[in-house]
Structure 1
Amino acid sequence: MHNRRTLTRLFLASLACAALPVQAQTFPSRPVAMVVPFPAGGITDAVARALAQKMGEQLGKPVVVDNRPGGGGQIAAAYVRQQPADGHTLYVGATEMFAINPTLFRNFSYDPLKDFTPITSLIASPLVLVVPANSPMHSVAELVQQAKSRRAGLNYASQGIGSIGHLLGETFRGKAGGTYNHVAYKGSTPALQDVMGGQVDFMFDPVITTAPLIAGKKLRPLAIAADRRSPQLPEVPTLAELGIAGVDAGVWFGAVARAGTPAPMVERLNEAILKAMKDPEVLKRFADQGMQPFASTPAQFGSFMQAEIARWAPLIKASGASID
């Protein structure tokens, strides 16, 4: 009886293995959904839509964008986890969903590394330190001097508690010295409005959102928080060039599938996305919006997520930031 069960299990396992190449050849068998944890019109939505049509051409099936915002990415993630692990549903998120929110939220409902299979990173955009266009501060040195000399220090805006802008501001405080008061907003848009209006002194925000405002003379860039200058703002020095090392971060975006998705489907999706990202139309669209292509293999993206979680977790804990 025992031998019969063992043989049955081996037979079923062999059938499953034999079926994988066939599944890979017939995949996808229906439209592929890219589930985005933000409303339509945002950066992540724009990234997904830029890739969807070209991906569809590669896969031979339509690729549709499904917006499911809320809960710091938990609503979208829960939906993807409820779908079959067959590669037809992807989760396209940003740094927060994959590296920050699992530590920031006291009770987070998913583990990016255990509950999902990495497909590829997509694009990245460095953060830039901006001040109002009419600010008396024309350099980082002047900003730091003001933060040290003013009794109340300087106020800096962020996209929200525990956002990259918040965490980078805290890192800047530790590296540069001076007094800095954090003012949290609900997203980039209202924060940038108050920076432009002079209600707050400065902010770290992605090149994606700041470049048009800089071009329109509504903001003044002082430094790039990255290891190299931005192609969109080549005249703006990095903080490291200015003697403040270790203050570098950017927003990045990636695609994952539900854990357990067979390797042939993961490889097929990776191949389709990477080819879509090399399309001239897609490259131009990314460049026009200050996005830098950031493609990788599934294994590379998995390792990158691990490194990012390890990087941000201690900063989040040190800042005291948390969300219920």
Structure 2
Amino acid sequence: MPPLFASAAVALLLALNTGAHAQTAAADFPSKPVTLVTPFAAGSGPDAVLRLVSEKLSRLWGQRVVVDNKPGGGGFIAIDQARRAAPDGYTLLQLDSEHIAALPHLYKSRNFVTLQHFDPVASLFRTPFFVAVGTDSKWKNMSDLIADAKAHPGEISYGSWGVGSPGHLGGQQLDALAGTRMQHVPYREVSQLFANVGAGDVPWSFASIPSSQGIYKAGKLRYLAIAAPRRIPQMPDVPTMAEAGGPPSLEVNSFVSLLAPRGVPAAVKAKINADVAKVIADPEIRARFDTFAFEPLAWSPEEIVRNAEAKSKVYGELVRIGNISLE
């Protein structure tokens, strides 16, 4: 056989062998326990969902699926641990859209771009955010809040669960769209944030249902609006941003996904994506999602990337305008 044809034949055999090996790896996956690393604290909404998903995957796969909480460090403690894992699908990382899309803008000196180190594998859910005020707040709608903020530039503050969080960046976006200038007050503890909003110590904040329902059910919080184009069935009486007199284009939400260190075989990623989608469709998980107002997602990895890139454009501009840095 001429050398040229021999080389081509060898290359073809290697490609076929590699493809067959990848298919075998996918068919056998998982053959040992799988670890789900998360930057979210135990007991948080994303953690509660991940534990439900891990239980269902464990039954489906016939292997232990362990949740490993690594909160702190702006998400980098969990990220760094997952980065050290082999790219074989046995270590997955739960991140929200801000870890994916905002971190590169907030930590410029680290030169860290999440999607250069991790590949999206499967989506879990998206959560909307409400504008929350204390029950005794003088503001009855978004028009009141915005008018007051315009009349007192730089004097009205809002809280969030940390610099670079959806609550912080959402506040920056409201300022940009409404032509206001409000002061951001970051909190370390979510429970303390909403306790202070309820007491009137901080005038308002964005809030999700699972993080604020305790204070809300105690009668200390009101929701002025949902930062979304449609009302949700869990809170049918809460108006949309546009209905409440706020900027119609303001949408504040966060989506949560599973990612893997780059290099996981495509067939393994496809299996994980299909199996997670199957689990997310389980009625028990859907019912739990409903209590949190979490919207189940069954995006492909490509859809996760597209949605992350769209958020990155918005966040990059907000970080630039607000001169926000977490170095």
TM-score between the two structures when normalised by the length of structure 1: 0.92
- How many residue pairs match? The answer is 324
Query: What's 1:313 paired with?
Result: 316
Cα shift readout 1:17-40 (whole Å, capped 9, x = no counterpart): 121221111111101111101232
1:86 & 1:33 partners in 2: Cα distance? 11
Q: Which amino acid aligns with 2:199?
A: G
Q: Is the 8 A contact 1:77 1:110 kept in 2?
A: no
Cα shift readout 1:28-63 (whole Å, capped 9, x = no counterpart): 110111110123222221121011111122222221
1:109 & 1:190 partners in 2: Cα distance? 33
Query: What's 1:184 paired with?
Result: 186
1:64 & 1:155 partners in 2: Cα distance? 40
Unmatched 5+ stretches in structure 2: none
Q: How much has 1:127 moved relative to structure 2?
A: 0.9
| Equivalent in 117, 120, 125 of residue 119 of structure 2 | 117
1:220 & 1:127 partners in 2: Cα distance? 13
- Say if 2:285 is the partner of 1:291: no
Q: Is the 8 A contact 2:126 2:294 kept in 1?
A: yes
Alignment CA distance shift 1:113-1:54 (3 Å): same
Query: What's 2:62 paired with?
Result: 60
Alignment CA distance shift 1:151-1:261 (3 Å): closer
Q: Which amino acid aligns with 2:21?
A: A
Q: Which amino acid aligns with 2:289?
A: F
1:217 & 1:314 partners in 2: Cα distance? 37
Unmatched 5+ stretches in structure 1: none
1:120 & 1:39 partners in 2: Cα distance? 21
Q: How much has 1:176 moved relative to structure 2?
A: 2.4
Q: How much has 1:2 moved relative to structure 2?
A: 9.3
Query: What's 1:282 paired with?
Result: 285
Q: Which amino acid aligns with 2:264?
A: T
Alignment CA distance shift 1:287-1:309 (3 Å): same
- Say if 2:50 is the partner of 1:48: yes
Q: How much has 1:269 moved relative to structure 2?
A: 0.6
Alignment of 1:56-95 (within 5 A): 56-95=58-97
| Equivalent in 157, 171, 175 of residue 169 of structure 1 | 171
2:301 & 2:172 partners in 1: Cα distance? 32
Q: How much has 1:132 moved relative to structure 2?
A: 0.5
Query: What's 1:133 paired with?
Result: 135
Q: Which amino acid aligns with 1:101?
A: L
Query: What's 2:232 paired with?
Result: 230
Higher mean C-alpha displacement, 143-152 vs 236-245: 143-152
Q: How much has 1:9 moved relative to structure 2?
A: 5.3
Query: What's 2:253 paired with?
Result: 250
- The secondary structure found in structure 1 opposite 2:148 is helix
Q: Is the 8 A contact 2:150 2:181 kept in 1?
A: yes
2:84 & 2:309 partners in 1: Cα distance? 24
Q: Kindly, what percent of the aligned residue pairs are identical?
A: 33
Q: What RMSD, in angstroms, separates the aligned Cα atoms of the two structures?
A: 2.1
| Equivalent in 100, 103, 119 of residue 101 of structure 1 | 103
Q: Is the 8 A contact 2:153 2:180 kept in 1?
A: no
TM-score between the two structures when normalised by the length of structure 2: 0.91
2:54 & 2:125 partners in 1: Cα distance? 14
- The secondary structure found in structure 2 opposite 1:196 is helix
Higher mean C-alpha displacement, 16-25 vs 175-184: 175-184
- The secondary structure found in structure 2 opposite 1:288 is helix
2:312 & 2:150 partners in 1: Cα distance? 32
Q: How much has 1:213 moved relative to structure 2?
A: 2.6
Alignment CA distance shift 1:54-1:109 (3 Å): farther
Q: How much has 1:231 moved relative to structure 2?
A: 2.4
